[in-house]
Amino acid sequence: AQKITQTQPGMFVQEKEAVTLDCTYDTSDPSYGLFWYKQPSSGEMIFLIYQGSYDQQNATEGRYSLNFQKARKSANLVISASQLGDSAMYFCAIRVYSGGGADGLTFGKGTHLIIQP
Amino acid sequence: DAGVTQSPTHLIKTRGQQVTLRCSPKSGHDTVSWYQQALGQGPQFIFQYYEEEERQRGNFPDRFSGHQFPNYSSELNVNALLLGDSALYLCASTLVGGYTIYFGEGSWLTVV
């Protein structure tokens, strides 16, 4: 079974500062993908970034980057130049690929990020 | 390009009743998954449908069942509702073999 640990229940950050949200994972499967989602109070899960276990480079999507440290089983999300609209819950998730298919996502408990002006 | 759409957005049911939630996947996607998110928790995987069959199931009782139609849309059915079934139910879609998974806005179910 897979497990995601997010150790920061909540974070307060000043606008325009960079933010790092922590995520560690546990799986015995060699082929997997790591995801980060943003969930505003409306409830929708917004896809931010993806990192495959065999990807050599860290993923980047605009202001979002994923600091992937495979040996440490760490997949931290970095948001550069934070904005007020970044305030939301952030979830890290893992998906294992095996037997020609893919499992459902396993999520962490999330980090509540609040950007202060 | 329409994203994942879910209906209804909010509903209230009584203990013991049955509920059906609906999902239309993102255009071009053929695989649909359902998740339950209790208040203050991360989403929990219920099951996944591909080619109109349940391909994988999480740790949920048989009261939770689903269906996928030929147009790839899907339904989640929950029988004999319990108070603990109150949650946000999220539908996600992807293309088989693809890695990007998109979610809908969810259906908020309250059981009283």
pLDDT in tens, A90-116: 999 999 987 767 789 999 999 999 999
pLDDT in tens, A32-50: 999 999 999 988 899 999 9
Instruction: Say whether pLDDT at A17 is over 80.
Output: yes
Whether the upstream peptide bond of residue B61 has omega within 30° of 0, thus cis, is: no
- Which residues on chain A are in Cβ contact (under 8 Å) with B108? 43
How big is chain B, counted in residues? 112
- Predicted confidence at residue B1, as pLDDT, reads 58
Instruction: Say whether pLDDT at A20 is over 80.
Output: yes
pLDDT in tens, B25-64: 999 899 999 999 999 999 999 999 999 999 999 999 999 9
Chain B residues with CB-CB distance to A under 8 A?
33, 35, 41-48, 55-56, 58, 88, 90, 92, 99-106, 108
The shortest CB-CB distance from B103 to any of A45, A101, A108 is to: A45
Task: Give the residue from chain B lying closest to A53, CA to CA.
Answer: B99
Q: Can you read off the two tokens belonging to residue B72?
A: 């790839």
Sign, CA dihedral B87-A41-A26-B57, equals: positive
- Predicted confidence at residue B2, as pLDDT, reads 66
- Predicted confidence at residue A100, as pLDDT, reads 65
User: What is the band of B96 on the pLDDT scale with cuts at 50, 70, 90?
Assistant: confident
What is the number of CB-based contacts under 8 A between chain A and chain B? 59
Give the H or E element holding residue A4. strand A3-5
What is the full DSSP assignment across A77-95? EEESS--GGG-EEEEEEEE
Q: Can you read off the two tokens belonging to residue A44?
A: 């929708």
Q: Are A50 and B106 in contact (CB under 8 A)?
A: no
Instruction: Say whether pLDDT at B99 is over 90.
Output: no
Strands (E) across B1-112 are located at 5-7, 10-13, 19-24, 31-37, 44-50, 53-57, 64-68, 74-78, 87-94, 102-103, 107-111
Q: What is the mean pLDDT of residues B85-104?
A: 90
Q: Are B52 and B3 in contact (CB under 8 A)?
A: no
Q: Are B88 and B30 in contact (CB under 8 A)?
A: no
Strand partners, A102: A97
User: What is the band of A22 on the pLDDT scale with cuts at 50, 70, 90?
Assistant: very high
